[in-house]
């Protein structure tokens, strides 16, 4: 109905301007295409197929409509118009087809000869479904909206490295014939296994863009920066939107303008899969903390010379572009004697469509308690640069903190001044100067303990004990033998006093003289008396005085008498011997009593 009216208009215009202008579109490209009323239809519906060309041709050859039965056609229509001096021409052959079975069917190629050349249409696929309720109904607003709305997720990189920034931009393509009044996100996608940051879209700018070769208007609805946290195939959940659209209908209102129909559409961007490449194991530095990007690294201290119990700040800072929020800052290795407080995290990171950039820093407050030098060794920071596809390691400078004044150790730190008036001498220990005197010994000198020398010294003195014991025992034995002792004593005394007499044993005169002399000598030595005072009575008196017993005294006197007698009477040798023995016994007896 509509078609016929249009054709009628074209014919009128054609008649009016046909003779005025020559064939203006002579040089334009020839098109020959197949148009389908629907791509999906129920078995009880009908399909309209139209083969349209913009130049007149001959020998039209329709395809075999396998799976369809031709209900009507071919019907031909030609329209030609001149608008602003341009001629437009179109000719079409149309068929009405009725599907014969369910399933997917392909409508093959039609051919035509235009200006001596053969043109072909592209084959199209048609899906035949089960019977529908309302066959041959015109396209609903939903169908139109379906065709003219496309939500697409554009991913900046399909196979990023682990922790490399990926941006996902959700774009809505809207066909020019419908208008979107409002939209509402149904389901915000959760980016599992990703660190995500949404970059809010403040203003929706429409841009004219082509999508699948057709002109569309496009709007960016959502932008997200993703940092994959896991290697392997990761899915990005689709974004679903509910859209309120106005779809033009074929009906017109009283004034001839189109009636728009409201439709409510849910669109979703297809599921996308990212293939996340793990960071190469080869050449991975030891202290790699997962940083990916381009960075700069430094460690600074607020001061290097200070007094004990003052504080200083050490800042470990990483700046640049990359996953700044997603890695651990390296920790400085500080001497254990320094008091270090929990670091204060400081970040200044902007997230743009290109990823994060800025700097992150850890501020350590350090309070040295004791005097000394504290070196802070250089620490390293490693990151993976996805551009050069290699690991980079940066090292900080070595810093030495010099604590000049203050106690040297705990013990001193706790002892404070006790008396108020007393000026306490600071007891803080200082670092001692080297020793100026040394008693250098040979390195090979051995330990004394456990050496042979040690054992000799330890046991040699003990040998003296049995030695002394032995000597002592011998002495005691000899002390205990009384009879032997007496004999020994007598012998000794006899040797002392009677040795002269003994020599004279063969000569009686000489013997008795010597004996008498010996006895007198003995008394002289023992009683301390002079020779001139010797008389028997005096000797008896003296001996009595010294309490020498009677028998010994009488024996002594007897001996003296026999000495006197021997001067006048002959004495036998036997008698002489007897007297000698007797005298030695008397002397020994007397010696004990004196």
The contact set with other proteins (CB under 8 A) reads 333-337, 370, 372-375, 377, 400, 408-409, 429, 431-444, 447-450, 454, 457-459, 461-462, 464-465, 468-469, 472
Nearest to 384 by CA among 324, 295, 275: 295
Three-class DSSP category at 304: coil
CA 32 from centre of chain: 70
User: How many whole angstroms separate alpha carbon 268 and alpha carbon 222?
Assistant: 13
User: Between residues 131 and 411, which has the closer beta carbon with respect to other proteins?
Assistant: 411
DSSP state of 408: S
Three-class DSSP category at 473: helix
CA 501 from centre of chain: 114
Tell the smallest beta-carbon distance from residue 409 to other proteins (Å).
Answer: 6
Tell the smallest beta-carbon distance from residue 490 to other proteins (Å).
Answer: 27
The contacts found for 208-216 with CB under 8 angstroms, 24 or more apart, are 209/173, 211/150, 211/152, 211/173, 214/175, 215/176, 216/150, 216/173, 216/174, 216/175, 216/176
Tell the smallest beta-carbon distance from residue 162 to other proteins (Å).
Answer: 22
Beta-sheet strands, E only, within 452-565? none
User: How many whole angstroms separate alpha carbon 444 and alpha carbon 450?
Assistant: 16
Tell the smallest beta-carbon distance from residue 327 to other proteins (Å).
Answer: 20
Per the CB < 8 A criterion, the answer to whether 550 and 557 are in contact is no
Tell the smallest beta-carbon distance from residue 433 to other proteins (Å).
Answer: 8
Nearest to 329 by CA among 361, 281, 295: 361
DSSP state of 201: -
User: Between residues 184 and 453, which has the closer beta carbon with respect to other proteins?
Assistant: 453
Tell the smallest beta-carbon distance from residue 300 to other proteins (Å).
Answer: 19
Say if strands 380-385 and 291-301 run parallel, antiparallel, or are unpaired: parallel
**Per DSSP, what are the bridge partners of residue 208?**
217
Q: What count of other Cβ atoms lies within 10 Å of the Cβ of residue 141?
A: 19
HEC string of 45-60 equals CCEEEEEEECCCCEEE
Tell the smallest beta-carbon distance from residue 353 to other proteins (Å).
Answer: 40
User: Between residues 267 and 376, which has the closer beta carbon with respect to other proteins?
Assistant: 376
User: Between residues 212 and 438, which has the closer beta carbon with respect to other proteins?
Assistant: 438
User: How many whole angstroms separate alpha carbon 229 and alpha carbon 237?
Assistant: 16
User: How many whole angstroms separate alpha carbon 512 and alpha carbon 543?
Assistant: 22
- Beta-carbon contacts of residue 379 (< 8 Å; ≥ 6 apart): 299, 316, 330, 331, 332, 333, 395, 396
User: How many whole angstroms separate alpha carbon 94 and alpha carbon 197?
Assistant: 54
User: Between residues 23 and 433, which has the closer beta carbon with respect to other proteins?
Assistant: 433
Tell the smallest beta-carbon distance from residue 279 to other proteins (Å).
Answer: 20
Tell the smallest beta-carbon distance from residue 278 to other proteins (Å).
Answer: 21
User: Between residues 388 and 437, which has the closer beta carbon with respect to other proteins?
Assistant: 437
Nearest to 261 by CA among 139, 149, 150, 176: 139
Tell the smallest beta-carbon distance from residue 593 to other proteins (Å).
Answer: 25
Tell the smallest beta-carbon distance from residue 396 to other proteins (Å).
Answer: 14
User: Between residues 64 and 336, which has the closer beta carbon with respect to other proteins?
Assistant: 336
Residue tagged 């996308």 (tokens): 272
**Per DSSP, what are the bridge partners of residue 218?**
173, 207
User: Between residues 169 and 399, which has the closer beta carbon with respect to other proteins?
Assistant: 399
Tell the smallest beta-carbon distance from residue 458 to other proteins (Å).
Answer: 6
Tell the smallest beta-carbon distance from residue 420 to other proteins (Å).
Answer: 30
Three-class DSSP category at 478: helix
User: Between residues 174 and 401, which has the closer beta carbon with respect to other proteins?
Assistant: 401
**Rounded to the nearest 5°, which phi and psi values hold at 388?**
-90, -5
User: Between residues 130 and 463, which has the closer beta carbon with respect to other proteins?
Assistant: 463
User: Between residues 29 and 460, which has the closer beta carbon with respect to other proteins?
Assistant: 460
Nearest to 355 by CA among 502, 196, 510: 196
User: Between residues 99 and 372, which has the closer beta carbon with respect to other proteins?
Assistant: 372
User: Between residues 423 and 441, which has the closer beta carbon with respect to other proteins?
Assistant: 441
């Amino acid at each position: 109905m509509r078609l016929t009216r249009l054709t009628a208009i074209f014919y009128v215009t054609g008649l009016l301007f046909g003779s005025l202008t020559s064939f203006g579109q002579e040089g334009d490209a020839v098109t020959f295409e197949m148009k389908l009323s629907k791509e999906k239809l129920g078995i009880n519906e009908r399909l309209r197929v139209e083969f349209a060309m913009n130049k007149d041709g001959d020998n039209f050859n329709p395809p075999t409509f396998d799976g369809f039965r031709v209900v009507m056609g071919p019907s031909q229509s030609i329209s030609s118009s001149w608008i602003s001096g341009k001629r437009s021409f179109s000719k079409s052959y149309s068929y009405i087809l009725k599907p014969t079975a369910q399933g997917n069917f392909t409508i093959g190629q039609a051919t035509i000869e235009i200006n001596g050349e053969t043109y072909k249409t592209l084959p199209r696929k048609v899906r035949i479904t089960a019977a529908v309720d309302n066959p041959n109904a015109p396209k609903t607003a939903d169908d139109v909206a379906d065709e003219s709305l496309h939500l697409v997720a554009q991913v900046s990189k399909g196979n990023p490295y682990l922790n490399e920034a990926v941006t996902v931009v959700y774009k809505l393509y809207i066909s020019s014939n419908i208008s979107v009044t409002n939209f509402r996100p149904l389901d915000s996608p959760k980016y599992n296994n990703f660190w995500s940051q949404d970059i809010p879209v403040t203003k929706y700018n429409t841009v004219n863009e082509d999508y699948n070769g057709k002109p569309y208007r496009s709007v960016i609805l959502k932008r997200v920066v993703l940092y994959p946290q896991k290697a392997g195939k990761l899915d990005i959940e689709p974004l679903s939107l509910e859209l309120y659209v106005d779809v033009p209908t074929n009906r017109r209102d009283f004034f001839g303008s189109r009636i728009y129909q409201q439709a409510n559409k849910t669109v979703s961007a297809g599921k996308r899969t990212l293939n996340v490449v793990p960071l190469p194991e080869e050449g991975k530095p030891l202290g790699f903390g997962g940083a990916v990007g381009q960075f700069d690294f430094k460690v600074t201290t607020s001061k290097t010379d200070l007094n004990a119990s003052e504080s200083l700040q050490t800042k470990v800072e990483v700046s640049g572009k990359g996953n700044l929020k997603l890695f651990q800052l390296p920790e400085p290795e500080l001497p254990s004697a320094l008091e270090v407080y929990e670091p204060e995290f400081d970040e200044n990171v902007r997230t743009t469509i290109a990823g994060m950039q800025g700097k992150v820093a850890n501020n350590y407050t350090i309070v040295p308690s004791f005097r000394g030098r504290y070196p802070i060794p250089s620490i390293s920071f490693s990151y993976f640069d996805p551009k050069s596809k290699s690991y980079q390691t940066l090292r900080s400078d070595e810093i030495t903190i010099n604590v000049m004044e203050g106690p040297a150790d705990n013990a001193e730190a706790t002892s404070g001044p006790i008396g108020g008036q007393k000026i306490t001498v600071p007891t803080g220990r200082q670092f001692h100067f080297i020793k100026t005197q040394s008693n250098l010994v040979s390195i090979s000198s051995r330990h004394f303990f456990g050496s042979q020398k040690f054992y000799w010294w330890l046991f040699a003195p003990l040998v003296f004990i049995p030695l002394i014991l032995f000597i002592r025992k011998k002495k005691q034995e000899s002390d205990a033998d009384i009879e032997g002792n007496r004999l020994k004593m007598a012998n000794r005394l006899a040797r002392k006093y009677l040795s002269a007499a003994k020599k004279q044993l063969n000569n009686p005169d000489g013997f008795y003289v010597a004996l008498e002399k010996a006895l007198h000598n003995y008394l002289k030595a023992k009683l301390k008396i002079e020779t001139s005072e010797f008389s028997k009575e005096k000797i008896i008196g003296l001996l009595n005085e010294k309490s020498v017993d009677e028998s010994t005294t009488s024996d002594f006197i007897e001996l003296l008498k026999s000495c006197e007698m021997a001067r006048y009477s002959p004495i036998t040798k036997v008698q002489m011997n007897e007297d000698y023995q007797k005298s030695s016994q008397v002397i020994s007896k007397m010696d004990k009593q004196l």
